Amino acid sequence: MIQWYKSITTTKYRHGVQDGKWPPYEKRFWQRNYYEHIIRNERAHQAIQNYIHNNPANWPVDQLHPDAPTNQFNREW
């Protein structure tokens, strides 16, 4: 089901880019190494909800975030 959703949305986006409706996406449309997770109970739901809510506050220190000052790939050489 997830693969079908990703496939259909990617195809529709590509067609939108070709028709001039949307700007081209420079990298991948879907995040690499992302794994879907089935929420099985309220505790898991709350943990994921908290992660989503609090995640932006961690971006300045997240070494993998492209705009983080500590990102080794974001430095000018």
What distances in angstroms separate CA 17 from CA 6, 12, 13, 14, one per listed residue? 16, 9, 6, 5
pTM above 0.75, yes or no: no
The stretch 10-37 carries a mean pLDDT of: 83
Q: How large a percentage of the chain has pLDDT more than 70?
A: 82
Domain that holds residue 43: 37-72
Q: Is residue 45 part of a domain?
A: yes
Tokens 């932006």 sit on residue: 56
pLDDT at residue 70 is higher than 90: no
What is the identity of the amino acid at 12? K
Q: 59, 67 in Cβ contact below 8 A?
A: yes
Q: Give the pLDDT score at 63.
A: 74
User: Is 49 within the bounds of a domain?
Assistant: yes
pLDDT value of position 20: 92
Q: Which residue intervals of the chain are DSSP H helices?
A: 2-18, 42-58
Higher per-residue pLDDT: 5 or 37: 5
Per the structure, the count of domains in the chain is 1
Per residue in 25-53, pLDDT (tens digit) is 877 778 776 667 789 999 999 999 998 89
Q: Of 77, 76, 5, 68, which is closest to residue 36 (Cα–Cα)?
A: 5
